[in-house]
Chains A and B, each alone.
Chain A
Amino acid sequence: MGAFSDLLLIAAEEAEHAEIHAGDGGWWADTAGIMLILPFVAYLLIIFFGKRLKYQGGEFAVGALAINLLWATVLFVMNMTGGVLDQTTFEIARIGSDLVFELGWVVDGLSIMMYFLVNFVGLLVFIYALGYMEGDVRVANFFASFSIFAGAMLVLVGAPNLIQLIVGWEGVGLASYLLIGHYWEDMDNVKAGNKAFMTNKVADVGLILGAILLGLAIGDFDFGHLSEAAVAGNVELNAVALTGGFLLFFGAMGKSAQFPLHIWLPDAMAGPTPVSALMHAATMVTAGIYLMARVFPLFQNMAQDARPWMIAIGAITLFAIGLLALVANDIKKVLAYSTVSQLGYMMTAVAAGGYTAGLFHLFTHAFFKALLFLGAGSVIHAVHSNDMKDMGGLRKYMPTTYWTFIVGSLALAGIFPLAGFWSKDEILATLGHEGYTTVMWIAIAGAFVTAFYMTRAVALTFFGEYKGHGKPHESGKLMARPLIGLAIPSIFVGVLNIPGVDWPGIGNFTEWLGVRVVAMGDYHPESVDFGLAAVGLAAALLGIVVGWMIWGADRKTQEERDSFAVPVLYPLLRQKYYIDHAALGIVGATTGPLARFVDWTNTYIIDGIVNGVGALTRGLGTFVYGILDQRGVDGIFNGLSAVADSAGSGLRKLQTGRIQQYAASFVAGAIVLAVVFVLVS
């Protein structure tokens, strides 16, 4: 545990300097690694014993996360009340004195928040899945992959260094590939899984190269050392900080679905709905934001020049991709585009220097987006279709789903006093304070769009007349209770971080997240800016009103109401700005022909030469053998041939019988050349 003592030392100095007060978390922090391991234990148990149980091993998955949640909650509370800062690492490889690789877990404000989020949301989604997946073709496989999904995410957020982060990062990617392609009989689902994996793999090139650049500059891959070096102005790190920062950001763009690498996320809806809920809330897509937050000091102190680009990407993502939710008819795709847009908010915030603002939105969003997806799943379960054209009027049949979905939608739209209001407002305040006024107005416009498409989704799904088949009914308890379990935090968690409010004894979210080895030095508003909050809220309310006028009002026919579309934008939006076409077109147009060209080269050029040389050598061999033979030095060669002959006696039956001649020629040639060579030199 070499680097650990170093780190604590730095942590102590820094903590003193930045007045970060924290304990070491005692036994709970020392054993926190159990959270990273239990899901994998559950995986093995499911694989080997799952099929014998009622829920085919879902029991193990739920059990693992339940135990995890205990740890996460204890740490969360400890961090609220006094701060926890600890790190445990094990050396897994050492190359000379140059390079050390470690695995372990970090326990600080950021990771504790993520531990809690992943395990809390994960547990509820897992319980929900027990009901949702009943009767599925491969329940055990599903829960096995689901456990890897949660486990890999915990490995990622617990990572004390870039290497372990990469392990978790790609592990999450693997699990999402398996889960998106859960119904692999259908090639469309397989292709969606491939698209997700490949898009992420492209982005991972950035992450891996960035890790190499930054890691070699500071001598190891430890996040604590990286933050420390960034704050201290390490010269070598400074030299590569901008490039490294861009590369890491490119990696984050893939996982967190930033424009134009967002294309995989809507297709990822091919997986069962609980997968989408987990993927869009706590795991997978939050990884990129998490990474940016983890290396925040790098961008804050060194790679500032990368930030305008990151903000621009985030702003495009939050607005332009949010618009796509307006034209989607698949309820899950509406939510998927919404996620992309909200990730744009988070990225913009973190890039603008709003470490807390971005993460707070990540935190609140996880609850209401998981809620919305589970609600959508409940609807899909009832009507057996994803298409909102097959829904309508469901509020009468599915009251719990309806009410919780309304809560989720209002929270997402940013309606006071629900969770989303507070976190979105903080992002707006940060953007305004840091001088990104244009982006702030884009974000306000985005709030309008968000409310607009959510109103559409709610109206098409729950209002009007039911247009599907059969009589839909409310989902069972296993599915309904997690909805309630997520609706409650979706209403209340916003109050954890009201600017200027310190809750007695526990402080606020900003303080909890600030428990890091170095001070983040980010901006957070000291008091509520009522003017800005009112503007943000007005945009959202306007979105609801306009949306309701279009989709909710009693228009002449059902048809007309459902197919209403914004006339000018519609074609562009339906084609998703042609980005998918462009991306797939480019890949298809280059890789395929290139691969065929390489194969052709291999067969006709390189092998052509090989076969040609073969034929030539055969002729030459016979010729040389003949000449040498006639000149009477055949004694040596006969001897050599005899050796080759006996070795190749079986060979002759198979072949033309010439092998031993070539062998003899080669060996003889080599000896002759060697002698010549030595004499000459």
Chain B
Amino acid sequence: MEWFDTWGLTLIVFLPLAGALLLGLLPRDNEDALKGTALVVTLAAFGLSLLMITQYDFGGGSYNTYQFEVNETWIGAINSNYHIGVDGISLPLLVLSTFVMVLSVIYSWNHWEEPYNPKGFLILMLILATGMNGTFVALDLVLFFIFFEVVLLPMYFMIGIWGDRTPRKIPGFSREIETRLYASIKFFLFTLFGSAFMLLGFLALYFRSGEFGDRTFDIIQLTELGGMGAFTGTFAFLVFGAMFLGFAVKVPMWPLHTWLPDAHTAAPTVGSVLLAAILLKLGSYAFIRISIPILPEEAASWAPAIAILAVIGIIYGSLACLAQTDMKRLIAFSSVGHMGFVMLGIATMTDIGINAAIIGMVAHGLITGLLFFLAGSMSHRYHTREMARLGGNMKLMPIMGGILAFTAMASLGLPGLAGFWGEFMALVGSYNPLDGLPLGVFRTSMVLGAIGTVLTAGYMLYMLQKVNLGEPKEEWLDKEFHDVDRFEMTAWVPLIILIVIIGFYPRIVFESTTDTVVSLVDTVFGSEITASLNSGG
């Protein structure tokens, strides 16, 4: 399998892009060929990522060492390399990304929003796939930045072209604007705003990484430098802050989250699914991959602030959900709360918390992805997302209703399903954060986070009550409803099964992450940092 060691990862990343090019050559009206090609390509990428699991050496999961590594000179002038690789942290996310992509292609088989054009949409999806997969494996900051940004444009077009056309009155604007236009431009600018700072941070790191000619964008080398204390003081503070802005927008953390409900609500179904399942994880992943290892001391001193913002996100997002009347917007806001738990886990800077964050990301990807599939399929049938008009869905579409109830339960963190572990372990981590971090802040966060789970249950039951239960409203009585069709079933059943399996056997995620995370925490937060924290530094 030598070819796989060297080419495997590159194939996983670039196969979708090649597929996109191929699709560009195919005629617009041969839909079967277009869909078939997209399916084959995404399946191939997924298959390769599964093969990667079998070839991955789980015993060797130590920090700052990567497998399937490729390191080739790319832009020699600035010492930027084509450097990619996976470790225990990125592997589950990479698999999640390729997996959800396959399901999205299957789902889109017979679900197209106006203005149709499957060719264009599939091409965008495949470009998106390359961007997402690439972000999870990039080990060079320039490469990372490019993949991170590549994601932006396809999503912008998806929302802008295939998005919701309902005119909306936006506070502060004189005219009514189509939802998709406002949402897409907001998404784009918000993310770009964050990215600019992120890039600034990357460049600053580069310039500080050595003398002219030795400077590097390489994450592994920067991590080593960071571990030796190369980046300290105001410089480190500002760099962390700049990168924080970039990543926090993507997560999104309160109060930088307001692009998300709009983007989600306006996006076409598959767009929302990919946004929730994968895109949001790019930010939290970047915290673990870049911010913490390269600037550990800064990470620790920022940690209480991150925890506070995360907890505000949990409570605030859940409360906002309770005020929603639009089903999709409610689900969108729920992401703010759930990603709050992920960030709370990261903020603890412990092995438990960071593992919680990763399994939280995977679970949120599966669960919220499925919720958006459901919301899409339902608004496809009802042509409305207003919960006041829905109701009695269990009677009109029992299977759809059953799956919605299941997913809502998973989303509220029912123990025994995947969503539980991320929330629970984030709370466990908050009880005993990294030695030296303020216990008061974190233990208060733990209590507030636990209260947040009550609110989460509240809005999920509220949604089920409004949408699923009761008698159907009169306007639907003479309508024919198609319950779940076979494409939907094919796309959803794997998600359901995985949600249950991870719920009862989280080890299938932790087996990959634990060793790497433990070694990460042990190494970067060695005795020096905790000592300096303890002495009030």
Q: Residues of A with Cβ closer than 8 Å to B? A: 91-99, 101, 103, 163, 166-167, 169-171, 174, 177, 181, 184-187, 190-191, 194, 197-198, 201-202, 204-205, 208-209, 212-213, 215-216, 591-592, 594-596, 598-599, 602-604, 606-608, 610-612, 614-615, 617, 647-648, 650-651, 654-655, 659, 662-663, 666-667, 669-671, 673-674, 677-678, 681
User: In the complex, which of the residues B157, B188, B199, B461 has the most CB atoms of chain A within 10 Å of its own CB atom?
Assistant: B461
User: In the complex, which of the residues B173, B186, B415, B428 has the most CB atoms of chain A within 10 Å of its own CB atom?
Assistant: B415
Q: Are B323 and A167 in contact (CB under 8 A)?
A: no
Answer whether residue B446 sits at the interface, using C-beta atoms and an 8 A cutoff: yes
Q: Are B208 and A678 in contact (CB under 8 A)?
A: yes
Residues of A within 8 Å of B425, CB to CB, are 95
**Given pairs A167-B415, A655-B185, 11 additional interface contacts (CB within 8 A):** A91-B507, A93-B505, A94-B507, A170-B416, A185-B470, A208-B450, A216-B432, A651-B157, A666-B195, A666-B196, A667-B196
A184 to B392, CA, bound (A): 9
Interface of B, helix, strand, loop or mixed by DSSP: helix
Residues 194-230 of chain B: 1 if any A CB is under 8 Å from the residue's CB, otherwise 0? 0111011001100110000000000000000000000
Answer whether residue B322 sits at the interface, using C-beta atoms and an 8 A cutoff: yes
Q: Are A205 and B428 in contact (CB under 8 A)?
A: no
B64 shortest CB reach to chain A, Å: 17
B259 shortest CB reach to chain A, Å: 8
Q: Are A674 and B319 in contact (CB under 8 A)?
A: no
In the complex with contacts A666-B196, A670-B196, A198-B207 CB distance below 8 A: no
Residues 320-358 of chain B: 1 if any A CB is under 8 Å from the residue's CB, otherwise 0? 111110000000000000000000000000011001000
Q: Are A659 and B506 in contact (CB under 8 A)?
A: no
Residues of B within 8 Å of A614, CB to CB, are 186, 189
Q: Are A208 and B424 in contact (CB under 8 A)?
A: yes
Q: Are B415 and A674 in contact (CB under 8 A)?
A: no
Residues 155-176 of chain B: 1 if any A CB is under 8 Å from the residue's CB, otherwise 0? 0110011000000001111000
Q: Are B323 and A595 in contact (CB under 8 A)?
A: yes
Which residue of the partner chain, among A99, A170, A610, contacts B414 with CB atoms under 8 Å? A170
In the complex with contacts A190-B465, A198-B461, A670-B199, A185-B323 CB distance below 8 A: no
Residues of A within 8 Å of B34, CB to CB, are none
Q: Are B324 and A674 in contact (CB under 8 A)?
A: no
A220 shortest CB reach to chain B, Å: 12
Residues of B within 8 Å of A212, CB to CB, are 427-428, 431, 446
Q: Which of B45-53, B106-114, B295-303, B452-460 contacts A (4 or more CB under 8 A)?
A: B452-460
Q: Are A213 and B431 in contact (CB under 8 A)?
A: yes
A651 shortest CB reach to chain B, Å: 7
Answer whether residue B309 sits at the interface, using C-beta atoms and an 8 A cutoff: no
A595 to B316, CA, bound (A): 8
B248 shortest CB reach to chain A, Å: 14
Answer whether residue B43 sits at the interface, using C-beta atoms and an 8 A cutoff: no
Residues of B within 8 Å of A174, CB to CB, are 409, 414
Q: Are A671 and B192 in contact (CB under 8 A)?
A: no
Residues of A within 8 Å of B160, CB to CB, are 651, 654-655
Q: Are B415 and A171 in contact (CB under 8 A)?
A: yes
18 pairs, CB–CB < 8 Å, chain A vs chain B: A95-B352, A171-B416, A185-B471, A198-B454, A205-B451, A205-B454, A215-B428, A216-B428, A595-B319, A596-B323, A599-B324, A604-B171, A612-B172, A651-B156, A662-B189, A666-B196, A678-B203, A678-B207
In the complex with contacts A99-B352, A659-B185, A666-B192, A674-B255 CB distance below 8 A: no
Q: Are A674 and B204 in contact (CB under 8 A)?
A: yes
Q: Are A166 and B258 in contact (CB under 8 A)?
A: no
A166 to B453, CA, bound (A): 14
Residues of B within 8 Å of A604, CB to CB, are 171
**Contact residues of B between 367 and 398, Cβ < 8 Å to A:** 392, 394-395
Residues of A within 8 Å of B395, CB to CB, are 185
B320 shortest CB reach to chain A, Å: 5
Q: Are A184 and B469 in contact (CB under 8 A)?
A: yes
A164 to B355, CA, bound (A): 20
Residues of A within 8 Å of B208, CB to CB, are 678, 681
Q: Are B447 and A198 in contact (CB under 8 A)?
A: no
Residues of B within 8 Å of A659, CB to CB, are 185, 188
Q: Are A591 and B172 in contact (CB under 8 A)?
A: no
In the complex with contacts A92-B505, A607-B258, A666-B193 CB distance below 8 A: yes
A615 to B208, CA, bound (A): 35
Answer whether residue B116 sits at the interface, using C-beta atoms and an 8 A cutoff: no
Residues of B within 8 Å of A205, CB to CB, are 450-451, 453-454
Residues of B within 8 Å of A95, CB to CB, are 351-352, 355, 425, 510, 514, 517-518
A92 to B355, CA, bound (A): 14
User: In the complex, which of the residues A599, A647, A669 has the most CB atoms of chain B within 10 Å of its own CB atom?
Assistant: A599
A405 to B238, CA, bound (A): 76
Q: Are A647 and B185 in contact (CB under 8 A)?
A: no
Q: Are B416 and A92 in contact (CB under 8 A)?
A: no
Q: Are B415 and A608 in contact (CB under 8 A)?
A: no
Which residue of the partner chain, among B188, B204, B504, contacts A677 with CB atoms under 8 Å? B204
A603 to B447, CA, bound (A): 28
Q: Are A610 and B196 in contact (CB under 8 A)?
A: no
Q: Name B427's closest neighbour in chain A (CB-CB).
A: A212
Q: Name B120's closest neighbour in chain A (CB-CB).
A: A650
Answer whether residue B481 sits at the interface, using C-beta atoms and an 8 A cutoff: no
